[in-house]
Amino acid sequence: MTRLTALKNDQASSRSKELFDGIQSKLGTVPNMMRTMGNSSAVLEGYLNLSESLSKGALGAKMGELIAMTVAEANACDYCLSAHTYIGTKLAGIEGEVLDASRNAQHSDPKIEAGLHFAKTLIEKQGKPSSEEVDAVLDAGYSEGEVGEIVAHVALNVFTNYFNNTANTDIDFPKVKANGQGVL
């Protein structure tokens, strides 16, 4: 049972309704996570702004989806695993096996795997990687700007994971369950 309400348009503030309209026109639907975030237009707008900014970053949409899967598995967020499995396969064109592997920070490309491993390290170490861990992701071929983007993707996904785990958001995508109980 959900703990926070996914708002219908007629329940939303004027700003949240405006944001819902923009989401609807872009996606053709307003996912339950965003409807629930709409209880605070500041929360929804902040999420949308950071998500939009990162979509224009150097890492690209596919890497963003892979990071989302790594983080969602680490935080045992079924909503985000479900959403990003759907988005990753249907919109980003990532093969299911690749998405599944990314849940455990694995990838056949050593550079991508290093980025996913760094994302998982950020979760495991609560955002406090060692100098050696930062050097490892830089040595794998990521620029300092891209390392910053990995950190930002992790932060965005921690936010959505915590939000959905708190709200117990009703999953409106084909359901995917976390394998474990998170990293802690």
Average pLDDT value for residue range 18-40: 97
Break the chain into its structural domains and give their ranges. 11-55, 60-167
What confidence tens digit (pLDDT) does each residue in 73-125 have?
999 999 999 999 999 999 999 999 999 999 999 999 999 999 999 999 999 99
Residue 180: pLDDT band with limits 50, 70, 90: low
Average pLDDT value for residue range 164-178: 97
- By the 8 A CB rule, do 36 and 80 touch? no
> Whole-structure pTM over 0.85, yes or no?
yes
How far, in Å, are 8, 81, 102, 157, 165 from residue 89 at the CA level? 28, 12, 13, 18, 23
Task: Write the CATH number of the domain with boundaries 60-167.
Answer: 1.20.1290.10
Length of the chain: 184
**Both tokens assigned to 32:** 């339950």
Q: What is the pLDDT of residue 173?
A: 96
DSSP 104: T
pLDDT of 43 above 50: yes
Q: At what angle do helices 41-55 and 60-74 cross, to 10 degrees?
A: 130
The residue written with tokens 């390290």 in the block is 121
